[in-house]
Amino acid sequence: MLRLEPRAATPWWLAVASPLMAVVATMVAGGVLFALMGFDPVASIRTIFWDPLFGPASGYSRPQLLVKAGPLILIASGLAIGFRAGIWNIGAEGQYIIGGICGAAVALAAYPAEGAWIFPAMVLAGAAGGWAWGMIPATLRNWTGASEILVSLMLVYVAQRVAAWMAFGPMRSPEGFGMPGSRNLQHYPSAANPELMAGTGAHWGVVAAALAVLATWFLMSRHIRGFRIRVAGLAPRAARFAGVRPETLVAFCLGLSGALAGMAGLFEVSGPGGQITDSFGSGYGFTAIIVAFLGRLHPLGILLAGLLLALTYIGGELAQLMLQLPAATVQVFQGMLLFFLLGFDTLTRYRLRWRGTK
């Protein structure tokens, strides 16, 4: 009988190999799924994973890579810190939406004034909005012990309805002919978050994501607070004896990941998204959870994982266009990827051993 035996330490190459094996397994399982649905599996997989980068239309799709990866990496960097400490913020989607709304509110209040202060103020408002939304589950957990998992998740549904209310009510564009949705910030120079270098897709959110990767790497591997977070996750009791206050950690992790998600929302609404609509949240907050795990909660890993999942978004759209694959293919891929990843991760923590019958 096959059985699992705990490893004392994970060999480094396995830590790298397990996410790669999960990606390959997802491609294989995806191919089987496509074949069952009557699509050509090889063509489908190539369209999703290869064509966006090197295919005939890659000139259009390549910049989209950074557009999609930016918010994913920004959000996942924050989430990973909490996950390391065993603090589960799964409501990043809500913090993203509220951040977008708060940032857009600053722009809409300032309209039509122009000034260099407007965009920085929007970034601050977006971060503050996301922080505040993340601090709700943090405060409730610290005061009453309510599960931050459930509270943060419930707040996603609340945030979605706030966005719908904003789009139909207070933020509806006076020039929108009664259509729901705010003014388009792309047409408002001081508030717009344009492509910084033509053809790269990089906007300020991508810059922020790169900074977040560096900053979280510094925090987690060079700063005492990062050390405390890691200890709290690995050995909660030891952390408490060492004077780490769990309340502080909860507030820090949820507040920080909320602020980063809020900034991601702001960069989206002022850039690629353009406006607050009733469907402003597009699932980045949930996909970022997969990015965080696929990146093994490590900043560099998150960078690569964010790019890969961005690729599945673009590839999924391409496959929808070229092969008429259903739009939800991407979601299925992402779900499968997380399953395979968790499964293969077992190999990093346990050794497989054959045991004869005694």
Partner 1 sequence: MIGWTTLLLLMSAATPILFAALGEAIAERSGVLNLGVEGMMITGALAGFAAAHATGSPLAGFVAGAAAGAAISLIFGVLTQYLLTNQVATGLALTMFGLGLTAMFGRPYEGVKAPSMPGGPLGVNWAIWLGLALVPLTWFVLNRTRRGLILRGVGENHDAAHALGYKVRLVRLVAIAIGGAMAGIGGAYVSIATVLQWTEGMTAGAGWIALAIVVFAGWSPWGVLAGAWLFGGVAVLQLRLQAAGVAVPVQLLSMAPYLATIVVLVIISARQKYRGRGSAAPGSLGRPFHATR
- CA distance between the termini of the chain: 11
Give the whole-angstrom CA distance, residue 157 versus residue 126. Answer: 19
Give the whole-angstrom CA distance, residue 355 versus residue 229. Answer: 38
Query: Is the CB of 263 or the CB of 330 nearer to partner 1?
Result: 330
147 contacts partner 1 (rule: CB under 8 A): yes
Pairing state between β 2-6 and 350-354: antiparallel
Give the whole-angstrom CA distance, residue 95 versus residue 92. Answer: 5
Closest by CA to 265, choosing from 149, 112, 125, is 125
Choice from 32, 279, 350, 353 touching partner 1 (CB under 8 A):
350
150 contacts partner 1 (rule: CB under 8 A): yes
Whole-number minimum distance, CB 224 to partner 1, in Å? Answer: 26
Return the range that interacts with partner 1 (CB under 8 A); candidates 151-159, 171-179, 236-244, 260-268: 151-159
251 contacts partner 1 (rule: CB under 8 A): no
Whole-number minimum distance, CB 357 to partner 1, in Å? Answer: 15
330 contacts partner 1 (rule: CB under 8 A): yes
- Site residues (CB under 8 A) for partner 1, limited to 284-303: 286, 289-290, 293
- What residues pair up with 288 in beta bridges, in sequence order? none
Q: Using alpha carbons, list the distances in angstroms from residue 59 to 52, 54, 178, 192, 198.
A: 8, 9, 37, 24, 12
Query: Is the CB of 214 or the CB of 352 nearer to partner 1?
Result: 352
Whole-number minimum distance, CB 88 to partner 1, in Å? Answer: 6
- Number of amino acids touching partner 1 (CB under 8 A): 48
Closest by CA to 214, choosing from 298, 305, 309, is 298
| Interface map 85-114 toward partner 1 (x if CB under 8 A) | ---x-x------------------------
- What residues pair up with 351 in beta bridges, in sequence order? 5
- What residues pair up with 47 in beta bridges, in sequence order? none
Query: Is the CB of 248 or the CB of 346 nearer to partner 1?
Result: 346
14 contacts partner 1 (rule: CB under 8 A): no
Residues 6+ apart with CB under 8 A from 95: 89, 129, 130, 131, 133, 134, 159, 257, 258, 261, 262, 265, 285
Helix axes 284-294, 299-323, angle to 10 degrees: 130
Choice from 53, 140, 210, 215 touching partner 1 (CB under 8 A):
140
Query: Is the CB of 49 or the CB of 333 nearer to partner 1?
Result: 333
Whole-number minimum distance, CB 80 to partner 1, in Å? Answer: 12
Choice from 168, 172, 173, 215 touching partner 1 (CB under 8 A):
168
The contact set with partner 1 (CB under 8 A) reads 4, 6, 88, 90, 140, 143-147, 149-151, 153-155, 157-158, 161-162, 164-165, 168-169, 278, 286, 289-290, 293, 326-336, 338-339, 342-343, 345-346, 349-350
